[in-house]
């Protein structure tokens, strides 16, 4: 499967270096990066020192055939819980007795492979005279759950979520189906009576608007909970404020959250309707984001972007300004609220991961780690990383070459000199297509002698794509 994905049509190409030219991104820090055995992606410039005759390529997710029973709706979330996939989404509205504002209905589905979905009869809420349905909420606004991976989290709080309009209310669950809300009294800064259950409250100073998907998670890297949600502002002096993304944190999900910080993300004229920010499941020290971009000047058309950010950062890295998922040929995908990615990229097969388009019900597939590649054409190119310290005895890479292409790697010391035994001429050329392949230099490729020393890598590539690398003693 991953071989097919690796040669898929590329959605967009950004040339960071041209033939014969070098793009240098190194800030030449005094201290080397401490990467340990962490997986390194090329979704930002964090590990890139310079590139010659190479380019970064944003990969194109491949639309899969529509499932027999797909889930469709707004503000969806897909959680992989062991061998079970759980999907949550807002399906439709139901009129309240006073008919002033409709009440929102949230539904639930399960899958064992992430491809086909089952709709269990939960018996939790009456709908159209029957409780034989998959409804988990009938009156919760913009519910967004997550699986709490914090070590030691109580079983009764294994699942958490946020929802709300004037403020965000926390929800807890043991099984991801039966939820209870919390009751934390906070001050309503609009001047009215206190809200019940709002853990993040409305504040006119930072003009938040919680009427979108407000995503949260436990950050292993930050050792705290993080929430990304919508605010409004005029970063480029717009007369009418645009939709922005802000961030808050806390060590106690039901306690006090930090003051919000607006993330740098928008280009002029853009509304970022959702953020869908999440730790990448293979590299939780990297946050990925798939926001919906709304262009009001073009009849409120929308598409889906790709961005990334790092723990604690107040800006998103946007190596690519172009769409990650275009609206496509379906006229219904060219309107407002027509292009939402479900929260979370999840693994759905060997060498495969999936993104769900919640409005259309389609599943989009990428190879594992295959968001961005360092691409080499027929002519040879070179990538030099920044200096770093690592742990492990092997260097493993995720790559794809043509029949005539190859990758070779050299390890250099802090002065840029090749380390004996790990020179380019010692490296066994790598040819093929694998998610994880260890690099070999001659007979002895054990890197333990270099562990903890500042080094850098020199990749010499031709007609191939490099998606990620890491150091370690085996497979993840």
**Which residues lie below 8 Å from residue 243, measured CB to CB, with a gap of 6+?**
209, 212, 230, 231, 232, 271, 272, 273, 294
Same domain, 283 and 234: yes
Q: Is residue 16 very low, low, confident or very high in pLDDT (cuts 50, 70, 90)?
A: very low
Q: What percent of the chain has pLDDT over 70?
A: 85
In this structure, are residues 188 and 204 in contact, taking their beta carbons and an 8 Å threshold? no
Phi, psi of 332, rounded to the nearest 5 degrees? -70, -15
Q: Is residue 140 very low, low, confident or very high in pLDDT (cuts 50, 70, 90)?
A: confident
Same domain, 257 and 123: yes
Q: How far is CA 234 from the centre of its chain?
A: 26
User: Total domain count for the chain?
Assistant: 2
Q: How far apart are CA 290 and CA 305, in angstroms?
A: 5
**Which residues lie below 8 Å from residue 152, measured CB to CB, with a gap of 6+?**
none
Q: How far is CA 469 from the centre of its chain?
A: 18
Same domain, 11 and 139: no
Candidates 161, 166, 143, 175; CA nearest to 218 is 161
Q: How far is CA 315 from the centre of its chain?
A: 15
Neighbours of 127 (CB within 10 A): 15
Q: How far apart are CA 424 and CA 420, in angstroms?
A: 10
Same domain, 325 and 263: yes
Same domain, 317 and 197: yes
Per-residue pLDDT tens over the stretch 451-463: 999 999 999 999 9
Same domain, 379 and 295: no
Candidates 463, 422, 461; CA nearest to 52 is 461
Mean pLDDT of 377-391: 98
Q: How far apart are CA 284 and CA 455, in angstroms?
A: 24
Domain boundary among 367, 402, 436: 367
Neighbours of 441 (CB within 10 A): 22
Per-residue pLDDT tens over the stretch 36-68: 999 999 999 999 999 999 999 999 999 999 999
Half-sphere exposure of 30 (CA within 13 A, CB side): 0
Domain boundary among 327, 351, 367: 367
Same domain, 43 and 120: no
The per-residue DSSP string of 2-29 comes to HHHHHTSPPSEEE-SS-TT-EEE-----
In this structure, are residues 161 and 106 in contact, taking their beta carbons and an 8 Å threshold? no
Comparison of pLDDT for 212 and 456, the residue scoring more: 456
Res. 21: pLDDT tops 70:
no
CATH of the domain at 455: 2.60.120.260
Mean pLDDT of 416-431: 97
pLDDT at 6: 42
Same domain, 168 and 231: yes
Q: How far apart are CA 241 and CA 230, in angstroms?
A: 12
Same domain, 363 and 376: no
**Which residues lie below 8 Å from residue 79, measured CB to CB, with a gap of 6+?**
85, 86, 87, 88, 145, 146, 147, 159, 176, 344, 346
pLDDT at 190: 43
**Which residues lie below 8 Å from residue 193, measured CB to CB, with a gap of 6+?**
none
Same domain, 55 and 84: no
In this structure, are residues 69 and 383 in contact, taking their beta carbons and an 8 Å threshold? no
Q: How far apart are CA 1 and CA 7, in angstroms?
A: 11
SS3 474: coil
Element (H, E) at 93: strand 84-94
pLDDT at 204: 53
pLDDT at 102: 66
Mean pLDDT of 311-333: 94
pLDDT at 246: 93
Instruction: Determine the structural domain holding residue 458 and report its residue range.
Output: 2-59+372-472
pLDDT at 24: 65
Same domain, 314 and 397: no
Return the structure tokens found at 34.
């401490």
Q: How far apart are CA 263 and CA 235, in angstroms?
A: 11
pLDDT at 26: 52
Domain boundary among 329, 344, 367: 367
- Beta strands 33-36 and 388-390, pairing class: parallel
SS3 450: helix
pLDDT at 168: 84
pLDDT at 446: 94
Candidates 69, 78, 143; CA nearest to 105 is 143
pTM across the whole model:
0.91
Q: Is residue 93 very low, low, confident or very high in pLDDT (cuts 50, 70, 90)?
A: low
Q: What is the mean pLDDT of the chain?
A: 88
Same domain, 7 and 41: yes
Q: Is residue 187 very low, low, confident or very high in pLDDT (cuts 50, 70, 90)?
A: very low
Can you name the residues that pair with 48 across neighbouring β-strands? 385
pLDDT at 375: 98
CATH of the domain at 219: 2.115.10.20
Res. 29: pLDDT tops 80:
no
pLDDT at 10: 36
Mean pLDDT of 238-263: 91
Phi, psi of 297, rounded to the nearest 5 degrees? -70, -10
Q: How far apart are CA 432 and CA 2, in angstroms?
A: 11
Largest CA distance in the chain: 79
From 25-29, 83-87, 142-146, 154-158, the region with the lowest mean pLDDT: 25-29
């Amino acid at each position: 499967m991953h071989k097919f994905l690796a040669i898929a049509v590329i959605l967009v190409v950004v040339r960071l270096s041209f033939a014969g030219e070098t793009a240098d991104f190194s800030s030449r820090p005094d201290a080397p990066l401490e990467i340990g055995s962490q997986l390194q992606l090329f979704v930002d410039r964090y590990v890139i020192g310079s590139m010659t005759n190479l380019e970064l390529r944003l990969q194109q997710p491949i639309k899969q055939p529509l499932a027999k029973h797909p889930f469709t709706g707004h503000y969806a979330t897909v959680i992989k819980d062991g061998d079970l996939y759980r999907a949550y989404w807002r399906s439709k509205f139901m009129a309240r007795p006073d008919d002033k504002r409709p009440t929102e209905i949230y539904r639930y589905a399960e899958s064992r492979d992430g491809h086909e979905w089952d709709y269990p009869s939960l018996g939790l809420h009456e709908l159209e005279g029957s409780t034989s349905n998959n409804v988990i909420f009938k009156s919760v606004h913009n519910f967004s759950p997550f699986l709490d991976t914090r070590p030691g989290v109580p079983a009764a709080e294994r699942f958490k979520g946020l929802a709300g309009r004037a403020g965000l209310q926390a929800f807890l669950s043991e099984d991801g189906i039966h939820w209870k809300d919390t009751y934390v009294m906070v001050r309503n800064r609009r001047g009215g009576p206190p809200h019940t259950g709002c853990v993040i409250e409305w504040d006119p100073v930072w003009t938040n608007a919680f009427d979108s998907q407000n995503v949260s998670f436990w950050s292993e890297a930050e050792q705290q909970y993080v929430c990304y949600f919508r605010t409004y502002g005029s970063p480029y002096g717009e007369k009418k404020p645009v939709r922005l993304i802000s961030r808050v944190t806390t060590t106690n999900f039901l306690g006090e959250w930090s003051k919000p910080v607006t993330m740098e993300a928008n280009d002029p004229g853009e509304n970022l309707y959702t953020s869908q920010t999440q730790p990448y499941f293979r590299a939780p020290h990297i946050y990925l984001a798939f926001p919906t971009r709304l262009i009001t000047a073009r009849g409120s058309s929308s598409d889906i972007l790709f961005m990334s950010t790092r723990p604690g950062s107040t800006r998103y890295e946007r190596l690519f300004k172009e769409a990650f998922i275009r609206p496509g040929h379906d006229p219904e995908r060219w309107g407002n609220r027509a292009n939402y990615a479900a929260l979370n990229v999840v693994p759905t097969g060997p060498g495969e991961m999936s993104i769900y388009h919640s409005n259309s019900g389609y599943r989009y597939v990428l190879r594992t780690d295959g968001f961005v590649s360092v691409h080499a054409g027929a002519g040879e190119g070179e990538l030099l990383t920044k200096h770093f310290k690592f742990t492990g005895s092997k260097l493993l890479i995720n790559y794809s070459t043509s029949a005539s292409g190859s990758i070779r790697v050299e390890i250099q010391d802090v002065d840029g000199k090749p380390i004996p035994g790990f020179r380019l001429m010692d490296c066994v050329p790598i040819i093929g297509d694998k998610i994880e392949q260890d690099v070999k230099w001659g007979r002895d490729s054990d890197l333990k002698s270099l562990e903890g020393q500042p080094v850098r890598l020199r990749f010499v590539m031709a007609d191939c794509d490099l998606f990620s690398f890491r150091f370690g003693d085996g497979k993840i």
